[in-house]
Amino acid sequence: MADIPAIEKAYQLGRQRYSDIGVDTERAMTRLEKIAVSLHCWQGDDVGGFESSDGLTGGGIMATGNYPGKARTADELRADADKAFSLIPGKHRFNLHSIYAETAGKKVERNELAPEHFAGWIDWAKQNQIGLDFNGSFFSHPKAASGFTLASNDPAIRKFWIEHGIACRKIGAAMGKELRTAAVTNIWIPDGYKDIPVDRKKPREILKESLNEILAEKFDKKHLLDAVECKLFGIGSESYVVGSHEFYMGYAMENKTLLCLDAGHFHPTEVISDKISSVLCYFEEILLHVSRGVRWDSDHVVILSDELQAIAYEIVRGGFLDRVHIGLDFFDASINRLAAWVIGTRCMIKALLIALLEPTGELRQLEQSGDFTSRLAILEELKTLPFGAIWDYYCLKQQTAVSTDWIDEVKKYENDVLSKR
Ligand code: RNT
Ligand code: ZN
């Protein structure tokens, strides 16, 4: 268990160190506390959802691993999420997919989903005083088996998915209204070709039309914020993805939706940290899917990597905290699923804290005056300042587990709850 006097002592020393370089640690923590990260429900059950018992995924989304204890029902998923939230400092959000509907054992097609199928989730969110975000699920479905949904040239298939998109926006708006915080409702579709297509144009024209139909109805922005998510390639869509970056960048700009940047959806050496300040020259708000690409997989558990840190720096340095919706998107079935949530979210918050502890004003001045030597030297020295002491103290103040203490709690939960599933 954490040694509280030692943490407090370390904090006092750390606070002094930061104060010496002109950084107010209290201020950083006060700002951090207000940042809500949206935890993605799908880490809890490998993107399975509750539609059927086979839990098969499709559309190039694949969780690998068979760690025992995954959530099989909404109640189990909520219990796991409650546990994860208790081990993460601050107040956050929860991001649902339509396949997590609760239909009381009745088969409800995705184009017939309605807010009532999410009443259980909304009640839970109310009780926990958290906001919800939402996603249409255009994959893992017989009508997505061809690899095409909204860009399909089969009118019946396309109609089905358009209706699904429309239904999902209504659900998102209802969530936002009930919870008094806009639900960011995201559209990602897997549509694309494994091998080189002849016609790259037509599917994009069809997708544009489909999106227009989905987005035709206007909702109050206080309840619903629409987002569209691009991807470079997926498993089975290696050669061509209809919803590319350029496609959605243009679409979102023209139609005033949010643009979603997923950290794993670009070329391996291309980073979203560099895109944030570019797209925010044109967009009011954006959505991030913070993830970690590893070779051909776009969804490894988020760690405190250079790129995660760069993303956090960009958000904080740019003054973008109110314009960037930070969502997480990863799934790993090879480790304790709840631990994956806790690891990834704690890393995201840590990265934001480190960014908030930067003496950015001074660095900016050095840069403007052309003193790149000092810029580099200070940036490197900052890396070994005692941010860990501030982080531990922040966790303590937020009444959540400090340092590795949360691991024992997860193990206990695994033993008492997960192992019995
Ligand atoms: C897939 C996209 C998408 C999904 C989730 C489940 O490549 O990143 O966001 O991961 O919607
Ligand atoms: Zn994503």
Residues 265, 396, single domain; the answer is no
pLDDT in tens, 208-260: 999 999 999 999 999 999 999 999 999 999 999 999 999 999 999 999 999 99
Query: Which atom of ligand 1 lies closest to the CA of 298?
Result: 7
Which residues in 263-355 belong to E strands, given as ranges? 286-290, 292-294, 297-300, 324-328
Residues 267, 367, single domain; the answer is no
Residues 34, 92, single domain; the answer is yes
pLDDT in tens, 357-394: 999 999 999 999 999 999 999 999 999 999 999 999 99
Last-in-domain residue among 356, 376, 404: 356
CA of 348 to the centre of ligand 1 (A): 18
Q: Any catalytic annotation for residue 245?
A: no
pLDDT in tens, 291-313: 999 998 999 999 999 999 999 99
Residues 14, 40, single domain; the answer is no
Q: Any catalytic annotation for residue 289?
A: yes
Is the C-beta atom of 76 inside 6 A of ligand 1?
Answer: no
**Total domain count, the chain:** 2
Instruction: For residue 149, give the nearest of 201, 102, 95, 191 by alpha carbon.
Output: 191
CA of 188 to the centre of ligand 1 (A): 6
Residues 340, 194, single domain; the answer is yes
Residues 149, 46, single domain; the answer is yes
Strand pairing category for 224-229 and 258-262 = parallel
Residue nearest (by alpha carbon) to ligand 1 atom 7: 61
Name every residue whose Cβ is closer than 8 Å to that of residue 177 and which is 6 or more positions away in sequence.
220, 223
- For residue 229, what is the enclosing H or E element? strand 224-229
CB atoms within 10 A of CB 184: 26
pLDDT in tens, 175-207: 999 999 999 999 999 999 999 999 999 999 999
Residues 83, 145, single domain; the answer is yes
Owning domain of residue 412: 1-23+358-421
Q: Taking the model in full, what pTM does it have?
A: 0.97
Is the C-beta atom of 47 inside 6 A of ligand 1?
Answer: yes
pLDDT of 96 higher than 70: yes
Pairwise CA distance, residues 79 & 237, whole Å: 35
Residues 206, 171, single domain; the answer is yes
CA of 383 to the centre of ligand 1 (A): 32
Partners of 192 in beta bridges: 241
pLDDT of 62 higher than 90: no
Partners of 187 in beta bridges: 228
Residues 157, 8, single domain; the answer is no
Model pLDDT, residue 55: 56
Probe ligand 1: pick from 62, 262, 292, max atoms within 8 Å of CB?
262
Tokens for 321?
Answer: 């905290």
CA of 138 to the centre of ligand 2 (A): 13
Is the C-beta atom of 135 inside 6 A of ligand 1?
Answer: yes
Is the C-beta atom of 229 inside 6 A of ligand 1?
Answer: yes
